[in-house]
Amino acid sequence: MAENDKKIVFSGVQPSGNLTIGNYLGAIKNFSRFSEDYKTFYCVVDLHAITVRQVPAELRKRTYETLALYMACGLDPKENTLFVQSHVPQHAELGWILDCYTMFGELSRMTQFKDKSAKNAQNINAGLFTYPALMAADILLYQTDIVPVGIDQKQHLELARDVAARFNLIYSDTFKIPEGYIPTDTMKIMSLQEPTAKMSKSDPNENAVVRILDSKDDIMRKFKRAVTDSETCVRYSEDKPGVSNLMTIYRAFTGKTFDEIEREFDGKGYGDFKLAVGEACADGLTSVRDEFARLVQDKAHLEAVMKAGAEDAYGYARRTMSKVRRKIGFVN
């Protein structure tokens, strides 16, 4: 199939800290499955990162690292467009335009704004409020067909669809209406210490978060300390959030079903179960950690990937923006 005939996939990850196994299992691990049949754009969304105050040198470092991590997780830059959001200025341009077609009430209902405002009470800035419109711009800029999205991001995708439909209604067809893709073989990965809350890379409790680049010793230690319950039965159930979360992680790394996991640990205690989950996770991430360590040392190669990716993305973004600018009345 010619590249121009392929449907388009877009997704982005913030360079805001060492990514977790939740980011890996819920998103990045699944990205490579699209490479053969779709035109894929995978972006390091550094513009989104600055809604929270960043140390500039650290942000630059993490931008390189996130790109390297994309590649270490199996994304070949020859088969996927890998780039940095701020290197394609049309993201910010379309973000502002879509601000003007996104309703205050829509943004007020975004649950992540409420959550992040509570965590950053001293810096509730306008960008934090309007960044769902920038996220919509990220998606719509490439005439995206499919967005691999976590369960917690469905609300933002729905907003992008609503804004695209509103713009199209006013100015005739301009944007494709994107569809979400939520893998059926993974679920939301929860905190190891508070299993009713999503695992977050910004969690101050390091025992709650397993990061992709953690050492095997750190991974094993964190799983040994994972919260379970007062029973000793390995069983998937809503009333056993800690055990169910560990079973989800184990299933993701081993491919076993919940029934198979329950039979495997029938009559065994949580200690054996936690060790097995830790081993499966650490072993599953070994090749990623090794490849990342190699890639992150080659800054020139990473910059070449960034440059080539930005040039490819720019061509697509420029075509969309030419259409948008003409329709809203800007002089080219």
DSSP code at position 40: E
What CA–CA distance (Å, rounded) separates 264 from 242?
A: 18
Please, where are the H alpha helices in 147-215? 154-171
- Is 116 one of the catalytic residues? yes
Tokens coding 277: 């989950």
Of 7, 188, 201, 216, the active-site residue reads 201
198 as an active site residue: the answer is: yes
Of 18, 13, 131, the closest CA to residue 75 belongs to 13
Question: What's the order of all strands across the beta sheet hosting 179-181?
Answer: 81-84, 38-44, 7-13, 146-148, 179-181
* CB distance 40 to 31 below 8 Å: yes
Show the tokens assigned to 179: 């569809």
Identify the active-site residue in 29, 198, 240, 274: 198
Q: Which residue among 29, 116, 176, 240 is the active-site one?
A: 116
256 assigned to active site: no
Q: With contact defined as beta carbons under 8 Å apart, do 187 and 21 qualify?
A: no
Active site residues: 116, 198, 201
